[in-house]
Amino acid sequence: MEFVARHPNLWSKKGGVAVTKFEEKQPSVSVDKLMWMYEQMVKIRYYEDQMVEAYTEGKSPVFNIGEGPVPGEMHLATGQEPAAAGMMVHLTKDDTVTAPHRPHHHAIAKGVDLKKMTAEIFGKESGLGKGKGGHMHLFDPEVKFSCGGIVAAGIPHAVGAAMANKMKGKDWVAVAFIGEGAANAGAFHESLNLAALWNLPLIIVVEDNSYGISVPKTASTSVESNDLRASAYGVAGAYVKDNDPVAMYKASEEAVNRARNGQGPTIIEIETFRFLGHFQGDPELYRDKEEVPGLRARDPIMKLRQQLLDAEHVNEPELEEIETRAKKEVDDAYQFARDSDYPKPEAALDDVFTS
């Protein structure tokens, strides 16, 4: 397990930013938290696997994005589970999370109502947004979660939540999840500047899955990792290698503690793996045929599972019980979505605001 932390409090024009490297052979995290993370990651993976099947229905033999029970675009997070689980284990329902167009892992780990979320994706009236938002526009005020399809648009929203938290005198934090491509957008830099200036409890998690749609990071980004940009704003930065769940836990723990204690923003970049295409139906012509099998051989769920077994924290039957429970929750959510009713045609004019 390894992550690198950069500390802005030691920043100077002469010396640069101080770097601390953390390496551990075995997890030093409580068993309960590791088990929670494992269950969330299993739930996320199974949820996305089931979504592949549901989304594919009615879209063959010729792919038609408008057909099937789940029409429209679909961006899945299979392989990116550690980013969500490693951060959310430190959060409460009072902490705000914003997510991008690939949001299911964040929503699940934040505790969004899984039945209502799935119904929303299926376009059903029982969904979070009465079936009108779809998978890129999930909103659950009960746990302060939202997402959107515009790249980098969630960062300013998180800054606003962080500012509100500070003005209220609360120790609540705001976390914005983005892809590495969004770190080149103006909203990223404008938001960081303001958050640093006002010392806000903001954390930006950059999920580097190597591609902005089909463009490799090496062709779009001038720095090796976006945590290096932290020093430009005088904030903390951390880099998590190899999609490591425990390293993400550690980096997130430090960032959340800093935010809650009034020490300002943090940028965390995690090297993560996108096992699927940018969207379902993506021919992935930009990837070498051996890339994805190589990534799957480094599956973070299997890595954490083996760590738990090797440290004798848990046995096989206990893990199987967790897996069964997670899968049942997902199956129940999908059944609820399929059994729910579509909105009535006249409901199209409900909840529409004009000026």
Q: Which residues of the chain are modeled with pLDDT < 50?
A: 9-17, 22, 25-26
Mean pLDDT of the chain: 93
- Tell whether 247 is covered by a domain: yes
Nearby residues of 174 by Cβ (< 8 Å), 6 or more positions away: 95, 96, 97, 98, 158, 159, 161, 162, 165, 200, 201, 202, 203
pLDDT for the residue numbered 280: 95
Predicted TM-score (pTM) of this structure: 0.93
Residue 2 lies in a domain: no
Question: What is the model's pLDDT at position 127?
Answer: 98
Structural domains of the chain, count: 1
Residue 64 lies in a domain: no
Q: What is the CATH number of the domain that holds 305?
A: 3.40.50.970
pLDDT score at 313? 84
Residues 116-136: tens digit of each pLDDT: 999 999 999 999 999 999 999
Residue of 270, 269, 244, 113 lying closest to 188 (CA atoms) = 269
Position 79 scores a pLDDT of 98
Q: Answer whether residue 342 is part of any domain.
A: no
Q: What pLDDT score was predicted for residue 242?
A: 97
| 171: containing domain | 30-56+70-279+286-336
Q: Is 62 part of a structural domain of the chain?
A: no
Look at residue 16 in the predicted model and tell me its pLDDT. Answer: 43
**Spatial CB neighbours of 102, under 8 Å, sequence gap ≥ 6:** 75, 76, 77, 80, 179
Query: Could you tell me if residue 10 is inside a domain?
Result: no
Give 114's Cβ-side CA count (13 Å radius).
Answer: 21
pLDDT tens per residue, range 217-253: 999 999 999 999 999 999 999 999 999 999 999 999 9
Q: What distance in Å separates the CA atoms of residue 178 and residue 77, rounded to the nearest whole number? A: 12
pLDDT of residue 166: 98
The answer to whether position 167 is within a domain reads: yes
Has residue 187 been placed in a domain? Answer: yes
Q: Supply the pLDDT for residue 354.
A: 72
Q: What is the pLDDT of residue 28?
A: 75
